[in-house]
Amino acid sequence: MDESPGLIVDKELGKIFNGNTLTVDRSSRKPRDTGLSKIVWAAAQMNPRNKGSTGLAAFRMREMDPETFRELLKRTLSISLTRDELREMVDYFDPDMNGYVTTSDFLSRFFKMGGIEKQAQDKWRVEKAKKMCQKEAVIERRRTKKRELLTQAITPQTKFTERDRESALNKLGQASLLYMRDRTRVPGFAEMKGFRVKSLQPLEFRDLLKKSLQLQLTNREIVALIDEIADDPHKDGSGLVDGATFMAFFLRLGRSMHNDEIAEAKLELRKKKLRQQISEMRIREDEAFQKEIQLLDWSQADLQSALQKLRDVAARYDRRALGPAQLEAFSANGMTPEVFARQLSRT
């Protein structure tokens, strides 16, 4: 519905009721109900003190025919009626059934319906506010009770296991690594200003870990972590955590895990190189073994052929034609078959 002079359009209420009224239910979709709902809604939004330059001055005439009535509603109150709704509204505001709407009767009933609707809306607002207050009070009581139970559950006397300690340190260490690598730009991390306080209760400490580092720790993990951080967590029986002590421990834990990662990476690299060397050595051994097998695979004819070739070479041997090296290549105490074959070929 558009705003026009004299109307105070409550947008929030309009969204809630979607143009419907409390005193007239238009959900029936009958022309009488929908048309009357539009007029009642406009009447409830009407402020006589803010009628503008024209306001309801157009309704000065004594009687209005249906078309005039429809046009005045549209221009003055931004009410658009369908033909069926117009027919029903003329009948509603024309008790004499003469086909005309008496202006004085219409305005009297218009303001009366508006007043009743305003009272209904005000009552609805009050009841809604009461319900909201009651709901918030219930939620707050539940939060308080839950917080009290949690406070009682996290005490220095809470028992924890070594697994709880390891789990807490691992979670905190991973968070410290992320924080040290990218500081507060890590997605989800908040500022660490909350840890600047002198002392933190266990529950406050857990809430800060969750808010600042997105850490979800159990009660036993919290107590185990406090036991690891504090010099003497049972000194005063409160299990308080000093903020500065925690930050020092937090960063130290991150550096330690970072160094462990570097050492582990170096060890893994050495293992990889060693595995590669072993693999290459095995390949060479396999190749040598295959060559030895090939050398053992010979016949008597191969032997006779080799000896004949050697005799022919010996017969053509000329010491002066070998150069300064001559036969020194064969001066070694022993040669592998491969080396022996190469020397024969070269010399």
Q: Any idea where the domains of the chain sit in the sequence?
A: 12-128, 162-267
Phi, then psi, of 308 in degrees rounded to 5: -65, -40
Least Cα distance to 215 among 258, 158, 167, 259 occurs for: 167
CATH superfamily membership of 12-128: EF-hand (1.10.238.10)
What was the pLDDT predicted at 67? Answer: 92
Are 124 and 131 spatial neighbours (Cβ–Cβ below 8 Å)? no
Instruction: Report the pLDDT value the prediction gives residue 299, as an integer from 0 to 100.
Output: 77
Q: Is the pLDDT of residue 29 over 70?
A: yes
Express each pLDDT in 270-286 by its tens digit: 999 999 999 999 988 88
**How far apart are the C-alpha atoms of 173 and 35, rounded to whole Å?**
69
Task: Report the pLDDT value the prediction gives residue 273, as an integer from 0 to 100.
Answer: 92
Do the Cβ atoms of 227 and 164 come closer than 8 Å? no
Q: What whole-number distance in Å separates Cα of residue 246 and Cα of residue 215?
A: 15
Q: CA distances (Å), 244 to each of 60, 90, 197, 279, in order?
A: 80, 80, 8, 52
Q: What is the pLDDT of residues 180-212, one digit of tens each?
A: 776 544 444 556 777 877 778 888 888 888 888
Mean pLDDT (whole number) for 247-259: 88
pLDDT tier, 11 (very low <50, low <70, confident <90, very high otherwise): low
- Could you read off the pLDDT of 125-166 as tens digits, one per residue? 899 889 999 999 998 888 777 666 655 556 666 788 889 889
Residue 84: pLDDT over 90: yes
Tell me what pLDDT residue 28 has: 82
Averaged pLDDT, 248-254: 88
For residue 63, give both structure tokens. Answer: 């009687």
User: Given this model, what pLDDT does residue 202 score?
Assistant: 81
**CA–CA distance, 55 with 47 (Å, rounded to integer):** 10
Instruction: Provide mean pLDDT across the span 286-301.
Output: 76
Residue 62, amino acid: R
How far, in Å, CA of 99 to CA of 63, rounded? 10
For residues 223 and 154, the answer to whether their CB atoms sit within 8 Å is yes
User: Is the pLDDT confidence value at 17 over 70?
Assistant: no
Rg (C-alpha) for the chain, rounded Å, is 49
* Entry pTM: 0.40
